[in-house]
Structure formats: C-alpha cells, structure tokens
Amino acid sequence: MDKKSLRKKVLENRSKLSKENILEYSEIIANKLYEMDFYKNAKRIMAFISFKDEIHTHDIIKTSIDKGKSIVVPITVPETRELKVSELRDFSELEMGYYDILTPKKEFIRLVDPNTIDLILVPGVVFAKDGYRIGYGGGYYDRFLSKLDKRVMKIGLAFDLQITDRVPTESFDIPVDLIITEKRIIDCSKNNKS
C-alpha cells in the first residue's frame, strides 16, 4: 500500500477511537514513558503538542515541566518547511497556530539549539516496527531529525492501531528508536535490518 492510502486508512481508524479511549491509552503510554531511563535521564525533551485524535501529549508536557525537565516544542515555519524548537515553561504560553496546532505565543518564543535535546517524542500517523513512519506529509520531522546527532533518542508515541509491519521508505526518512503504544514497547533496532 502506498503512503497516501496507508495514511488515509490509519487516520480513518484512529478517528473512530472515543475520547475516553484516547485519554485512557494516552495515560498508559505516558506512564510507560515516565518509567524509562531515557526519560528519567533526559534533561531536555522535545515534545509534539497533540491535536485532534492523536495520542494526547498535553499531560506529558505539563508533568515533565513539573518534574523540572526542560521541554521544547516544535514551531513550524511553512515558508521554509522547517521546524524550530522553543522552550516552553508553562502550558498557558500556547495559542492556536498553523494547522490548528497549539504553538507558543510570540512573546514566549525562546528558540533553543536543537543539539541540546536529549530525547525527542516523535508524532506520526503510521509507524512500522523498524521505526520508519508516515507523518502528515510535510516532511518537517525528517528534515529536522536529519540535522541532529544520530545518538539522540527518538521515541514514537502512537496507538497500537497505528503500527504496521512495513511502510514505504525514501532515502531521507529517519526511523525512531522506540515506539510506545498502549499495548507494547517496540525496540525498532531489533526490527531494523538496514
């Protein structure tokens, strides 16, 4: 199945999840994340701000700030199709931005060097067990990740219905290292044959 059809199919399936399921599964996923050494040892974490029926990351962001972590969130720059990262100190610093995704208000933009990030929570529509993913089609994350040190831990957060065996890949695609769903934790390095 090509990327477009796969994205459409999974988005349709995900849209059938109830609000209660989304919150329940998101909490299970968040609790698995908090237990991981990668999370415990990370000083600066990049987190996507969920929207619509994505895994709910708002509580992960708030909890991480409460735990004293430095949280940075993506800012999309549509003109150059790039991602910048801004430190978020409180959830109230956000407002509705492009694509109806919460983004820092102008006065709270604190750009940081992406190379100071220890852990990245990566969004996606479809994740393969080898860590490759299909996003929303903008390519923002692949371009962003390609500039970072390969050792930076990349964790995909997704519902189990978003996992598939394989996705079509291109040379510029960057896989995640782990995927956490409400049912399992997938170590992508064990499934990545490259």
Residue 79 has pLDDT above 60, yes or no: yes
Residue 128 has pLDDT above 90, yes or no: yes
What strand order describes the sheet that includes 70-77? 82-88, 70-77, 44-46, 119-122, 153-157, 178-180, 185-187
Domains of the chain by residue range? 3-127+147-164+179-190
Are 9 and 1 spatial neighbours (Cβ–Cβ below 8 Å)? yes
SS3 content of the chain, % helix, strand, coil (to 5): 35, 25, 40
pLDDT at 67: 97
Q: What is the pTM of this model?
A: 0.95
AA identity, residue 78: P
Between 123 and 81, name the one with better pLDDT.
Answer: 123
CATH topology of domain 3-127+147-164+179-190: Rossmann fold (3.40.50)
165-192, pLDDT tens digit by residue?
999 998 889 999 999 999 999 999 887 6
